[in-house]
Amino acid sequence: MTLHSRRRPSRALLAVPLTLLAAAAAVHGRPALAQDLPEPPPEPAAAAPKETVTEELIRMLQNSKVLSSEDAERLIGRLRAEQAPAATTAAVPAEPKGRVRVPYIPESEKQKIRDEIKDGMIETAKLENWAQPNTFPDWVKRVKIGGDIRLREEFDFLDSSNDPFLINFQSINSGSPYNVGTPLANQVSPPLINTTEDREAFRVRARIDLSGTISDEVKSVFRFTTGNNTNPVSTNQTLGNDFNKLSFVIDRAYLTYKPEDLPLAGLVMWGGRMPSPFQGTELSWDEDLNFDGLAATYKARAGGGVWPFLTLGGFSVQNTVFDFPATDANKAASRDRWLLAAQLGADWTIQPEMVLSGAVAYYDYIDLEGKTSSDCLAPTTSFSCDTDDSRPGFIQKGNTLYAIRQLQLAAAGDPEYQYFGLATPYRPLDANIRFDWAVAGPVHLMFDADYVRNLAYDENEVLGKVPVNNYEPGLDTNNDKVEDVAGAYKGGDTGYLVQLRVGYPIIRQRGEWSIGGGYRRIESDAVVDAFTDSDFHLGGTNAKGFVLGGSYGISKNTWFTARYFSASEVSGPPVSIDVMQLDLNARF
């Protein structure tokens, strides 16, 4: 829809000939003088009677659609009727050359003409929208548009002594099953993650937010972003793809309901694909992650500057494929995966410039872990087993996995095509605090601490499933050197994070700044590796290390950020990864 901007009056209204000066002079009670008007051209000898200047003015207003045809004819008729007696009683003497006489118009008729011209002009102004330049359709007032863009240069530094045999289980699970059979039958290496060669990438992220006010209590939000629909924790797109185009996807689409009347004032409800409704850090949730489902938060005042809150949510993690298994007439029962969550916390305003927040959350993933199949014959990659859909739809790295197919071989040496599922359930308990102190006006000191533990992790149960990763390197008893053999399994269920930042909480103007750093340690199965930070250790769990960074405003809503991540493995084979990111950010 085209928005009308400030417009000038219609060109026809401005193109009034100089003869209008005569009418204007008559309305103000004096005849037009020669210097007011150019000398009229000589009239033909046999010309028909001409309209008076007043009649000509009315005709022009009619042609410009300021007056309707009916109103114009009525005015001209009244004007001629009032002039008729004067025309019959006395002859009009000839005027000297260069002077034009305008017939007398009574004051009452002048005012009527003024009013009718004014009303006509207002009507035209409304139709052309130049009389109300700041007036827009109602829907425009109820929609807000915003967004941001980020240009990133990223450098990934990989230690040359890292274990080169880090299997890419995400690649296997998202494609054809992998043959884990004997070396004679298994000639192809599994897909492997690069752990030894440095990489550099120029990336871009662009996002557009649309929010619409449906009523005083209901709002809708859409966000469009670069990225893809296979990685839930990244909206970056790497440039340098033969100048190919970028993908643009819907990142958020949700409704919010916020009642204003008691007793529901303080309640906020979300439905759809929404940002995280939980207070926390990237120890559990990547900043780009969004949730699919329903959530509600209720916040009330308890006195003494304390505002307790409760957040509840139910989210669909993975929905069963409608026709699974595709190659079998006996379809599998539904195995939908869900996340149920509850968080209880409080915000405490100790002083106007000092706020302390704390929260404890419990997350319960339903049917997220892998399921061992019944006896299954799968001589080729096109065959399915009845629990293939229990493998995770997306993983990064770190969580303990095991082979979920219970294969039956027709003959010794037949291929053994496998998929891999999570070896443990996940029910993390997360406790975090946040301290925000405005130490010097707009400059804040901000401290975060986060602790998480997976209450469902049981190492004995994991060992009973024969995990395929997270083994310590084996040792040669003769010379104590690492060999390509597996040692003891070593997983973990705990993670923690501490970080400190000083400066402006949000960079908005030139010269505003912030610096900070922190340390984190997250064991293999403390949280689901698919949803945690995708930058630290290049994503996933089973990592420890520090983060340093800072930002500086270079113009209004434009700022530069630099961050450095240094991380290594908590257990298992050596995997040390350092990441440097240089970002140019802008928002509108």
DSSP state letter for 192: B
Residue 66 has pLDDT above 80, yes or no: no
Cis peptide preceding 263, ω within 30 of 0: yes
Give the per-residue pLDDT at 14: 40
Give CA angle at 50 (46, 55), nearest 5°.
Answer: 175
pLDDT, tens digit (0-9, with 9 covering 90-100), for 114-141: 888 877 777 776 666 655 656 667 778 8
Q: What is the pLDDT of residues 305-320, one digit of tens each?
A: 999 999 999 999 999 8
Query: From CA 271, how far away is CA 342, in angstroms rounded?
Result: 16
Does position 7 have pLDDT exceeding 70, yes or no? no
Dist CA 61 CA 438 (whole Å): 66
> Which range is least confidently modeled, 115-119, 381-385, 457-461, 479-483?
479-483
pLDDT at 31: 45
Q: What letter would DSSP give residue 557?
A: T
Q: What is the pLDDT of residues 194-205, one digit of tens each?
A: 999 999 999 999
Sorted by where each begins, the domain ranges of the chain are: 11-128, 142-587
Better-predicted residue by pLDDT, 426 or 480: 426
* Between residues 136 and 21, the one the model is more confident about: 136
Residue 45 has pLDDT above 60, yes or no: no
Rg (alpha carbons) of the chain, rounded to whole number: 39
Q: Is 153 helix (H, G, I), strand (E, B) or coil?
A: strand
In this predicted structure, the answer to whether residue 499 has a pLDDT above a threshold of 80 is yes
Quote the CA–CA distance of 53 and 60 in Å, as a whole number. Answer: 10
Given a cut of 50, is residue 365 above it in pLDDT? yes
The answer, yes or no, to whether residue 1 has pLDDT greater than 50, is no
pLDDT at 474: 73
Give me the pLDDT at residue 103, please.
62
**3-state DSSP assignment of residue 62:** helix
- pLDDT tens digits along 209-243: 999 999 999 999 999 999 998 999 999 999 999 99
List Cβ neighbours of 513 (8 Å cut-off, separation of 6 or more). 503, 504, 507, 550, 551, 552, 553
Whether the predicted pLDDT of 83 surpasses 50: yes
pLDDT band for position 188 (50/70/90)?
confident
Q: Which residue has the higher pLDDT, 428 or 108?
A: 428
Quick one: pLDDT at residue 296?
98
pLDDT at 278 over 70: yes
Span 68-95, average pLDDT = 68
Higher pLDDT, residue 88 or 429: 429
Per CATH, which fold does 142-587 belong to?
Porin (2.40.160)
412, pLDDT greater than 70 = yes
Residue 127: burial class (beta carbons within 10 Å; 0-12, 13-18, 19+)? exposed
DSSP result, 5-48: ---PPPHHHH---TTHHHHHHHHTTSPPPGGGSPPPPPPPTTPP
| pTM beyond cutoff 0.85 | no
Identify the three-state secondary structure at position 269: strand
pLDDT at 505 over 60: yes
Q: Is the pLDDT of residue 11 over 60?
A: no
What confidence tens digit (pLDDT) does each residue in 426-469 have?
A: 999 999 999 999 999 999 999 999 999 999 999 999 999 999 99
Query: What is the residue-averaged pLDDT of the chain?
Result: 86
What DSSP character marks residue 379?
S
**37 has a pLDDT exceeding 50:** no
Q: What does the longest C-alpha to C-alpha distance in the chain come to?
A: 140
Q: b vs e for 193-220, b when ≥16 Cβ sit within 10 Å of the residue's Cβ? A: bebeeeeeeebebbbbbbeeeeeeeebb
Per the model's pLDDT, the better-predicted residue between 299 and 57 turns out to be 299
Interval 144-186: pLDDT, tens:
999 999 999 999 999 999 999 999 999 999 999 999 986 655 5
The helix (run of H) or strand (run of E) holding residue 74 is helix 69-89
Is 203:231 a contact under the CB 8 Å cutoff? no
**CA angle centred on 495, ends 490 and 496, rounded to 5°:** 145
- Asked which of 88-102, 264-278, 471-485, 504-518 is least confident by mean pLDDT, the reply is 88-102
Average pLDDT over residues 291-318: 96
Give CA–CA dist 364/314, Å, rounded. 10
Positive or negative: CA dihedral 63, 64, 69, 71: negative
The whole-number pLDDT of residue 331 equals 83
Give the confidence band of 396 by pLDDT, cuts at 50, 70, 90.
very high
pLDDT on residue 64: 72
Model pLDDT, residue 133? 58
Q: What is the pLDDT of residue 138?
A: 76
pLDDT score recorded for residue 8: 44
Q: Tell how far CA 218 is from the center of its chain.
A: 19
Of 12-16, 137-141, 422-426, give the lowest mean pLDDT range.
12-16
